[in-house]
Amino acid sequence: MKAAVFHGLGQALTIEDRPEPKPGPTEVVLRVKSCGICGSDLHAADLPPGLPPGTVMGHEFAGEIVEVGSDAKALWKPGDRVCALPALGCGKCRACLSGDIILCTSLRGTGLGQVPGAYAEYVLAGAAETLRLPDGVTYRDGALVEPLSVGLHAVNVARLEPGERVMVIGAGPIGLAVTAWARFFGARCVIVNEKAPGRIALAAKFGATAVADVGKEDPVTVFAREAGGPPDVIFECVGAQGLLQQCIGMVRPRGRVVVVGVCMQPDTIFPVMAVIKEVEMRFVVAYRRQDFELTIEMLDRGRIPGRDMVTDVVGLGAFPSAFEALKKPTSQCKVMLEP
Protein backbone atom coordinates (compact mmCIF):
# COMPACT_ATOMS: atom_id res chain seq x y z
CA MET A 1 0.00 0.00 0.00
CA LYS A 2 0.99 3.65 -0.36
CA ALA A 3 1.60 5.68 2.78
CA ALA A 4 3.02 9.08 3.78
CA VAL A 5 6.10 8.39 5.92
CA PHE A 6 7.88 10.59 8.48
CA HIS A 7 11.69 10.36 8.54
CA GLY A 8 12.89 13.22 10.73
CA LEU A 9 12.24 16.64 12.23
CA GLY A 10 11.85 19.32 9.59
CA GLN A 11 11.82 16.83 6.73
CA ALA A 12 8.93 16.55 4.30
CA LEU A 13 6.85 13.38 4.37
CA THR A 14 7.54 10.93 1.55
CA ILE A 15 5.08 8.64 -0.24
CA GLU A 16 6.33 5.06 -0.03
CA ASP A 17 5.20 1.47 -0.38
CA ARG A 18 4.45 -0.13 2.97
CA PRO A 19 3.09 -3.59 3.88
CA GLU A 20 -0.67 -3.71 4.29
CA PRO A 21 -1.69 -4.24 7.94
CA LYS A 22 -2.97 -7.64 9.03
CA PRO A 23 -5.51 -7.86 11.84
CA GLY A 24 -4.91 -9.72 15.07
CA PRO A 25 -7.81 -11.69 16.58
CA THR A 26 -9.47 -8.58 18.08
CA GLU A 27 -8.61 -6.14 15.29
CA VAL A 28 -9.95 -4.96 11.95
CA VAL A 29 -8.38 -3.37 8.88
CA LEU A 30 -9.99 -0.34 7.24
CA ARG A 31 -9.57 1.00 3.75
CA VAL A 32 -9.03 4.68 4.58
CA LYS A 33 -11.66 6.88 2.99
CA SER A 34 -10.87 10.15 4.79
CA CYS A 35 -8.25 11.28 7.33
CA GLY A 36 -7.75 14.74 8.79
CA ILE A 37 -4.45 16.49 9.40
CA CYS A 38 -4.16 17.29 13.11
CA GLY A 39 -2.12 20.09 14.65
CA SER A 40 -0.42 17.59 16.95
CA ASP A 41 0.95 15.79 13.86
CA LEU A 42 2.37 19.08 12.60
CA HIS A 43 4.05 19.66 15.97
CA ALA A 44 5.44 16.12 16.06
CA ALA A 45 6.91 16.48 12.58
CA ASP A 46 8.68 19.75 13.31
CA LEU A 47 9.48 20.01 17.03
CA PRO A 48 11.57 17.88 19.43
CA PRO A 49 11.37 15.12 20.45
CA GLY A 50 9.50 14.17 17.27
CA LEU A 51 8.53 10.63 16.33
CA PRO A 52 10.55 7.52 15.41
CA PRO A 53 11.78 7.62 11.79
CA GLY A 54 9.50 5.56 9.61
CA THR A 55 6.33 6.55 11.46
CA VAL A 56 3.08 6.79 9.51
CA MET A 57 0.95 9.43 11.22
CA GLY A 58 -2.79 10.06 10.99
CA HIS A 59 -5.33 9.51 13.77
CA GLU A 60 -8.53 11.24 12.57
CA PHE A 61 -9.94 8.67 10.18
CA ALA A 62 -12.93 6.84 8.80
CA GLY A 63 -13.16 4.05 6.29
CA GLU A 64 -14.56 0.75 5.10
CA ILE A 65 -13.71 -2.51 6.85
CA VAL A 66 -11.88 -4.89 4.51
CA GLU A 67 -10.61 -7.57 6.89
CA VAL A 68 -11.77 -8.80 10.30
CA GLY A 69 -9.80 -10.67 12.99
CA SER A 70 -10.96 -14.13 14.06
CA ASP A 71 -12.47 -12.98 17.39
CA ALA A 72 -14.18 -9.90 15.92
CA LYS A 73 -16.38 -11.56 13.29
CA ALA A 74 -19.45 -11.33 15.53
CA LEU A 75 -19.05 -7.55 15.61
CA TRP A 76 -17.88 -6.58 12.14
CA LYS A 77 -17.85 -7.69 8.53
CA PRO A 78 -16.14 -6.44 5.35
CA GLY A 79 -17.99 -3.49 3.89
CA ASP A 80 -19.05 -1.94 7.20
CA ARG A 81 -18.68 1.86 7.29
CA VAL A 82 -16.86 2.94 10.45
CA CYS A 83 -14.58 5.30 12.30
CA ALA A 84 -12.42 4.35 15.26
CA LEU A 85 -10.66 5.70 18.30
CA PRO A 86 -6.98 5.96 17.34
CA ALA A 87 -5.92 3.65 20.12
CA LEU A 88 -5.90 -0.08 20.76
CA GLY A 89 -6.48 -1.05 24.38
CA CYS A 90 -6.24 -4.38 26.15
CA GLY A 91 -10.03 -4.65 26.30
CA LYS A 92 -9.95 -6.10 29.81
CA CYS A 93 -8.84 -3.40 32.24
CA ARG A 94 -11.11 -0.99 34.11
CA ALA A 95 -10.23 1.88 31.76
CA CYS A 96 -11.13 -0.09 28.62
CA LEU A 97 -14.34 -1.48 30.07
CA SER A 98 -15.51 1.98 31.22
CA GLY A 99 -14.80 3.64 27.85
CA ASP A 100 -11.66 5.44 29.07
CA ILE A 101 -9.51 3.55 26.57
CA ILE A 102 -6.91 6.34 26.42
CA LEU A 103 -6.00 5.51 30.04
CA CYS A 104 -5.32 1.80 29.36
CA THR A 105 -1.82 1.00 30.65
CA SER A 106 -1.27 -1.32 27.66
CA LEU A 107 -2.46 1.27 25.14
CA ARG A 108 -1.03 1.27 21.63
CA GLY A 109 -1.55 4.63 19.97
CA THR A 110 -2.35 4.94 16.28
CA GLY A 111 -0.14 7.21 14.20
CA LEU A 112 2.31 8.02 16.99
CA GLY A 113 5.03 5.45 16.34
CA GLN A 114 3.33 2.36 17.77
CA VAL A 115 0.56 1.43 15.33
CA PRO A 116 0.92 2.92 11.81
CA GLY A 117 -1.67 5.61 11.20
CA ALA A 118 -4.12 6.55 8.49
CA TYR A 119 -1.95 8.71 6.24
CA ALA A 120 -2.13 5.58 4.11
CA GLU A 121 -4.47 3.46 2.03
CA TYR A 122 -5.18 1.07 4.92
CA VAL A 123 -5.09 1.31 8.72
CA LEU A 124 -5.43 -1.11 11.65
CA ALA A 125 -8.04 -0.52 14.36
CA GLY A 126 -9.25 -2.33 17.44
CA ALA A 127 -12.60 -4.04 17.01
CA ALA A 128 -13.77 -2.73 20.40
CA GLU A 129 -12.59 0.80 19.54
CA THR A 130 -14.43 0.87 16.19
CA LEU A 131 -17.85 2.53 15.78
CA ARG A 132 -20.40 2.21 13.01
CA LEU A 133 -21.28 5.24 10.88
CA PRO A 134 -25.02 5.73 10.22
CA ASP A 135 -26.13 6.32 6.65
CA GLY A 136 -26.46 10.04 7.37
CA VAL A 137 -22.79 10.37 8.35
CA THR A 138 -20.35 10.45 5.43
CA TYR A 139 -16.79 9.19 5.59
CA ARG A 140 -15.62 12.80 5.68
CA ASP A 141 -17.93 13.45 8.62
CA GLY A 142 -16.57 10.28 10.21
CA ALA A 143 -13.02 11.62 10.06
CA LEU A 144 -14.23 14.67 11.99
CA VAL A 145 -15.60 12.59 14.87
CA GLU A 146 -12.17 12.51 16.55
CA PRO A 147 -11.57 16.30 16.73
CA LEU A 148 -15.23 16.95 17.55
CA SER A 149 -14.93 14.46 20.42
CA VAL A 150 -11.92 16.34 21.77
CA GLY A 151 -14.14 19.43 22.00
CA LEU A 152 -16.94 17.47 23.63
CA HIS A 153 -14.59 16.06 26.27
CA ALA A 154 -13.25 19.55 27.05
CA VAL A 155 -16.77 20.96 27.52
CA ASN A 156 -17.70 18.00 29.74
CA VAL A 157 -14.62 18.58 31.91
CA ALA A 158 -15.58 22.27 32.24
CA ARG A 159 -18.89 21.28 33.90
CA LEU A 160 -20.57 23.95 31.81
CA GLU A 161 -23.88 25.17 33.19
CA PRO A 162 -26.70 26.60 31.06
CA GLY A 163 -26.49 30.37 30.79
CA GLU A 164 -22.76 30.68 31.42
CA ARG A 165 -20.53 33.03 29.45
CA VAL A 166 -17.76 31.32 27.50
CA MET A 167 -14.58 32.56 25.83
CA VAL A 168 -12.86 30.31 23.29
CA ILE A 169 -9.30 31.20 22.32
CA GLY A 170 -8.63 30.03 18.78
CA ALA A 171 -10.96 29.01 15.94
CA GLY A 172 -9.00 26.08 14.63
CA PRO A 173 -10.71 22.67 14.46
CA ILE A 174 -10.62 22.15 18.24
CA GLY A 175 -11.73 25.69 19.03
CA LEU A 176 -14.64 25.29 16.61
CA ALA A 177 -15.56 21.95 18.17
CA VAL A 178 -15.53 23.49 21.66
CA THR A 179 -17.65 26.39 20.40
CA ALA A 180 -20.25 24.06 18.92
CA TRP A 181 -20.53 21.88 22.03
CA ALA A 182 -20.62 24.87 24.39
CA ARG A 183 -23.63 26.23 22.53
CA PHE A 184 -25.16 22.74 22.39
CA PHE A 185 -25.00 22.48 26.18
CA GLY A 186 -26.58 25.86 26.79
CA ALA A 187 -23.90 28.56 27.03
CA ARG A 188 -25.60 31.94 26.92
CA CYS A 189 -22.83 33.40 24.81
CA VAL A 190 -19.69 31.98 23.22
CA ILE A 191 -17.19 34.60 22.13
CA VAL A 192 -14.23 33.38 20.06
CA ASN A 193 -10.84 35.07 19.81
CA GLU A 194 -9.23 34.65 16.39
CA LYS A 195 -7.23 36.64 13.84
CA ALA A 196 -7.38 34.56 10.61
CA PRO A 197 -10.23 35.91 8.41
CA GLY A 198 -11.31 32.49 7.16
CA ARG A 199 -11.54 31.07 10.66
CA ILE A 200 -13.39 34.15 11.92
CA ALA A 201 -16.08 33.42 9.32
CA LEU A 202 -16.21 29.76 10.37
CA ALA A 203 -16.71 30.59 14.05
CA ALA A 204 -20.22 31.91 13.42
CA LYS A 205 -21.18 28.70 11.61
CA PHE A 206 -20.16 26.73 14.70
CA GLY A 207 -22.25 28.75 17.11
CA ALA A 208 -20.13 31.74 18.16
CA THR A 209 -22.34 34.60 19.28
CA ALA A 210 -19.48 37.05 18.57
CA VAL A 211 -15.86 37.00 17.45
CA ALA A 212 -13.01 39.19 18.69
CA ASP A 213 -10.58 39.85 15.85
CA VAL A 214 -7.47 39.87 18.03
CA GLY A 215 -5.44 41.48 15.26
CA LYS A 216 -7.63 44.58 15.56
CA GLU A 217 -9.50 44.44 18.88
CA ASP A 218 -8.84 43.86 22.56
CA PRO A 219 -10.59 40.55 23.41
CA VAL A 220 -11.34 41.65 26.98
CA THR A 221 -13.13 44.77 25.73
CA VAL A 222 -15.07 42.79 23.13
CA PHE A 223 -16.12 40.17 25.69
CA ALA A 224 -17.29 42.77 28.20
CA ARG A 225 -19.27 44.57 25.51
CA GLU A 226 -20.92 41.43 24.15
CA ALA A 227 -21.41 39.45 27.37
CA GLY A 228 -21.79 42.14 30.00
CA GLY A 229 -19.03 40.82 32.21
CA PRO A 230 -15.96 38.57 32.32
CA PRO A 231 -15.98 34.92 31.16
CA ASP A 232 -17.23 32.21 33.48
CA VAL A 233 -15.21 29.67 31.50
CA ILE A 234 -12.26 30.10 29.14
CA PHE A 235 -11.16 27.36 26.74
CA GLU A 236 -7.57 27.84 25.61
CA CYS A 237 -7.40 26.04 22.25
CA VAL A 238 -4.16 27.42 20.77
CA GLY A 239 -1.25 26.21 22.92
CA ALA A 240 0.96 29.32 22.73
CA GLN A 241 3.33 30.60 25.40
CA GLY A 242 1.84 33.24 27.67
CA LEU A 243 -1.80 32.30 27.12
CA LEU A 244 -2.26 30.57 30.47
CA GLN A 245 -1.40 33.74 32.36
CA GLN A 246 -3.66 35.77 30.09
CA CYS A 247 -6.52 33.36 30.82
CA ILE A 248 -5.99 33.73 34.57
CA GLY A 249 -6.21 37.48 34.14
CA MET A 250 -9.34 37.43 31.98
CA VAL A 251 -11.54 34.85 33.72
CA ARG A 252 -13.94 35.92 36.48
CA PRO A 253 -13.13 35.21 40.14
CA ARG A 254 -13.76 31.50 40.83
CA GLY A 255 -13.99 30.95 37.08
CA ARG A 256 -12.62 27.97 35.19
CA VAL A 257 -9.86 27.73 32.61
CA VAL A 258 -9.78 24.57 30.48
CA VAL A 259 -6.51 24.04 28.62
CA VAL A 260 -7.07 22.15 25.38
CA GLY A 261 -4.25 23.60 23.24
CA VAL A 262 -0.96 21.71 23.17
CA CYS A 263 1.95 24.04 24.00
CA MET A 264 5.24 22.39 23.03
CA GLN A 265 7.41 24.94 24.89
CA PRO A 266 7.95 25.69 28.59
CA ASP A 267 5.62 28.35 29.93
CA THR A 268 5.39 30.50 33.06
CA ILE A 269 2.47 31.62 35.18
CA PHE A 270 2.31 33.87 38.25
CA PRO A 271 0.21 31.85 40.69
CA VAL A 272 -0.66 34.74 43.00
CA MET A 273 -3.35 36.08 40.66
CA ALA A 274 -4.86 32.62 40.29
CA VAL A 275 -4.79 32.18 44.08
CA ILE A 276 -6.45 35.53 44.78
CA LYS A 277 -9.17 34.83 42.21
CA GLU A 278 -9.48 31.13 43.16
CA VAL A 279 -9.22 30.16 39.51
CA GLU A 280 -9.75 26.52 38.65
CA MET A 281 -7.48 25.30 35.82
CA ARG A 282 -7.93 21.94 34.11
CA PHE A 283 -5.79 20.34 31.44
CA VAL A 284 -7.53 17.90 29.09
CA VAL A 285 -6.56 15.41 26.44
CA ALA A 286 -8.47 13.14 24.09
CA TYR A 287 -11.88 11.65 24.95
CA ARG A 288 -13.84 8.58 25.99
CA ARG A 289 -15.60 6.10 23.73
CA GLN A 290 -18.89 7.64 24.88
CA ASP A 291 -17.80 10.97 23.38
CA PHE A 292 -17.41 9.30 19.97
CA GLU A 293 -20.86 7.73 20.32
CA LEU A 294 -22.60 11.01 21.11
CA THR A 295 -20.72 12.89 18.40
CA ILE A 296 -21.74 10.35 15.75
CA GLU A 297 -25.38 10.47 16.86
CA MET A 298 -25.50 14.27 16.84
CA LEU A 299 -23.84 14.44 13.41
CA ASP A 300 -26.44 12.00 12.13
CA ARG A 301 -29.27 14.13 13.54
CA GLY A 302 -27.76 17.36 12.21
CA ARG A 303 -27.52 18.71 15.76
CA ILE A 304 -23.80 19.53 15.65
CA PRO A 305 -21.88 21.12 12.73
CA GLY A 306 -18.82 19.43 11.32
CA ARG A 307 -18.06 19.42 7.64
CA ASP A 308 -17.93 23.23 7.35
CA MET A 309 -14.47 23.12 8.98
CA VAL A 310 -13.08 21.16 6.00
CA THR A 311 -11.29 23.69 3.80
CA ASP A 312 -9.35 21.38 1.46
CA VAL A 313 -9.19 17.75 0.33
CA VAL A 314 -6.09 16.16 -1.20
CA GLY A 315 -4.94 12.75 -2.42
CA LEU A 316 -1.73 10.99 -1.43
CA GLY A 317 0.26 12.52 -4.27
CA ALA A 318 -0.37 16.09 -3.10
CA PHE A 319 -0.35 15.22 0.58
CA PRO A 320 3.29 15.97 1.53
CA SER A 321 3.12 19.50 0.13
CA ALA A 322 -0.28 20.13 1.76
CA PHE A 323 1.12 18.91 5.10
CA GLU A 324 4.17 21.20 4.79
CA ALA A 325 2.02 24.21 3.95
CA LEU A 326 0.08 23.82 7.20
CA LYS A 327 3.25 24.30 9.27
CA LYS A 328 3.03 28.05 8.53
CA PRO A 329 0.13 30.42 9.31
CA THR A 330 -2.63 29.75 6.82
CA SER A 331 -6.30 30.34 6.18
CA GLN A 332 -6.88 26.59 6.11
CA CYS A 333 -8.83 24.95 8.92
CA LYS A 334 -9.13 21.19 8.40
CA VAL A 335 -7.37 19.57 5.44
CA MET A 336 -8.48 16.04 4.60
CA LEU A 337 -6.47 13.26 2.99
CA GLU A 338 -8.66 11.00 0.86
CA PRO A 339 -6.36 8.36 -0.58
Residue 118 within any structural domain of the chain = yes
Look at residue 328 in the predicted model and tell me its pLDDT. Answer: 87
Task: Identify whether residues 256 and 317 lie together within a single domain.
Answer: no
CATH of the domain at 203: 3.40.50.720
* Each residue's pLDDT tens digit, 237-258: 999 999 999 999 999 999 999 9
Task: Identify whether residues 128 and 205 lie together within a single domain.
Answer: no
Please report, in angstroms and rounded to a whole number, the separation of the first and last CA atoms in the chain: 11
Look at residue 6 in the predicted model and tell me its pLDDT. Answer: 97
Residue 141 within any structural domain of the chain = no
Look at residue 50 in the predicted model and tell me its pLDDT. Answer: 86
Q: Which parts of the chain have pLDDT scores under 70?
A: none
Enumerate the β-bridge partners of residue 64. Answer: 31, 81
Task: Identify whether residues 168 and 258 lie together within a single domain.
Answer: yes
Contact present, 151 and 292 (Cβ < 8 Å): no
Number of domains in the chain: 2
Residue 176 within any structural domain of the chain = yes
Residue 298 within any structural domain of the chain = no
Task: Identify whether residues 327 and 256 lie together within a single domain.
Answer: no
Residue 165 within any structural domain of the chain = yes
pTM confidence score:
0.96
Task: Identify whether residues 157 and 224 lie together within a single domain.
Answer: yes
Residue 76 within any structural domain of the chain = yes
Task: Identify whether residues 156 and 266 lie together within a single domain.
Answer: yes
Task: Identify whether residues 62 and 171 lie together within a single domain.
Answer: no
Look at residue 202 in the predicted model and tell me its pLDDT. Answer: 94
Distance of CA 301 to the CA centre of its chain: 21
Parallel, antiparallel, or unpaired for β 233-236 and 256-259?
A: parallel
Residue 199 within any structural domain of the chain = yes
CATH of the domain at 49: 3.90.180.10
Task: Identify whether residues 217 and 266 lie together within a single domain.
Answer: yes
Enumerate the β-bridge partners of residue 61. Answer: 35
Residue 121 belongs to domain spanning: 2-132+306-337
Task: Identify whether residues 162 and 88 lie together within a single domain.
Answer: no
Distance of CA 120 to the CA centre of its chain: 19
HEC assignment per residue over the chain: CEEEECCCCCCCCEEEECCCCCCCCCEEEEEEEEEECCHHHHHHHHCCCCCCCCCCCCCEEEEEEEEECCCCCCCCCCCCEEEECCEECCCCCHHHHHCCHHHCCCCEEECCCCECCCCECEEEEECCCEEECCCCCCHHHHHHHHHHHHHHHHHHHCCCCCCCEEEEECCCHHHHHHHHHHHHCCCCEEEEEECCHHHHHHHHHCCCCEEEECCCCCHHHHHHHHHCCCCCEEEECCCCCCHHHHHHHHCCCCCEEEECCCCCCCCCCCHHHHHHHCCEEEECCCCCHHHHHHHHHHHHHCCCCCHHHEEEEECCCCHHHHHHHCCCCCCCCEEEECC
Look at residue 311 in the predicted model and tell me its pLDDT. Answer: 95
Residue 142 within any structural domain of the chain = no
* Each residue's pLDDT tens digit, 137-168: 999 999 999 999 999 999 999 999 999 999 99
Look at residue 55 in the predicted model and tell me its pLDDT. Answer: 97
Look at residue 331 in the predicted model and tell me its pLDDT. Answer: 82
Look at residue 66 in the predicted model and tell me its pLDDT. Answer: 98
Task: Identify whether residues 88 and 191 lie together within a single domain.
Answer: no
Look at residue 330 in the predicted model and tell me its pLDDT. Answer: 80
Contact present, 25 and 10 (Cβ < 8 Å): no
Integer Cα distance of 145 and 35 in angstroms: 11
Q: How many Cα atoms occupy the beta-carbon half-sphere of 124 within 13 Å?
A: 21
Task: Identify whether residues 106 and 199 lie together within a single domain.
Answer: no
Task: Identify whether residues 161 and 269 lie together within a single domain.
Answer: yes
